[in-house]
Copies of this chain bind each other. A is one copy, B any other.
Amino acid sequence: MQGTQQPTSPTAAYTPTDRTVPTRSPDRASYDKELVHSILDEAYVCHLGFVRDGAPVVLPTLFGRVGQTLYVHGSTGSRPLRMTGQADPGLPVCLTVTHVDALILARSAFHHSINYRSVVVHGLAYDVTDPEEKRVALDALVDHVVPGRAADSRPANKKELAATAVIRLDLNEVSAKLRTGGVNDEPEDLALPHWAGVVPLRKGYEAPVGDPDLAPGTQLPGYLGAL
């Protein structure tokens, strides 16, 4: 949703690179910006990868998007954020988002699969030091969880801002990958007695549960109906 407030880039697709062309199933890859943004915006968490002492580290974390830039925040004491602040020119990261849409049960074990939509972003992460960019990024992080929520909450105060680090990762080297559709069994397996088909996963949310200490008269906000 955040992206709709931003000017649209004049080009409609990201440029493939050696790192964003998959070695397997290249027909499932896409570089379409609108598709990439929709997959990113629908995800509650991303998985952020970085290298520490030569070994990979992958951590789940919240994120936000403002146009062609992703933001990740955390405590100033957290490892990847501290490492980004010390990295020159920036910290090499890989940020990945995945939705599992359905289970694909085939007659053959080999053709079992899932329907998914994923986005992989490669690049350098930079510490955000400009106070205005940091404010915009923090709003985007809250709006990413629930669009419209940033305007309906108390903004961070000086102490909270000082305790929060924000890093940015521009969307340049990006690809989406998707599997859609049904079962792809071999023709000779179709007569086997095993059930085969698609099991869609449930999406969305259950009824919101208000905090026991809500101020009297506080109503459930309309934007929660749109989740």
Chain A contacts with B in 144-196, Cβ cutoff 8 A:
145-146, 149-150, 152-157, 160, 164, 182-183, 185, 189-196
Which partner residue on chain B sits nearest A82 by CB separation? B23
Chain A contacts with B in 44-65, Cβ cutoff 8 A:
44-45, 47-52, 54-60, 62
Asked whether B183 lies within 8 Å of A145 as measured between CB atoms, the reply is no
Q: Does A70 contact B (CB under 8 A)?
A: no
For this chain, the copies found in one complex come to 2
For this complex, into which size category does the number of interface residues on chain A fall?
35 or more
User: Which of A2-10, A27-35, A104-112, A126-134 is the contact stretch?
Assistant: A104-112
Q: A210 — which chain B residues lie within 8 A by C-beta?
A: 195-197
Per-position binary interface string of chain A over residues 3-22, scored 1 when its CB falls under 8 Å from any chain B CB and 0 otherwise: 00000000000000001000
Which partner residue on chain B sits nearest A153 by CB separation? B109
In the assembled complex, how far is the CB of residue A160 from the closest CB belonging to chain B, in whole angstroms? 4
Asked whether A94 lies within 8 Å of B145 as measured between CB atoms, the reply is no
Once the chains are docked, how many angstroms separate the CA of A45 from the CA of B205? 20
Once the chains are docked, how many angstroms separate the CA of A160 from the CA of B189? 14
Starting from the known contacts A109-B138, A195-B219, 9 additional A-B residue pairs (CB-CB under 8 Å) come to A23-B78, A44-B114, A49-B56, A49-B58, A56-B57, A56-B92, A60-B96, A103-B146, A154-B192
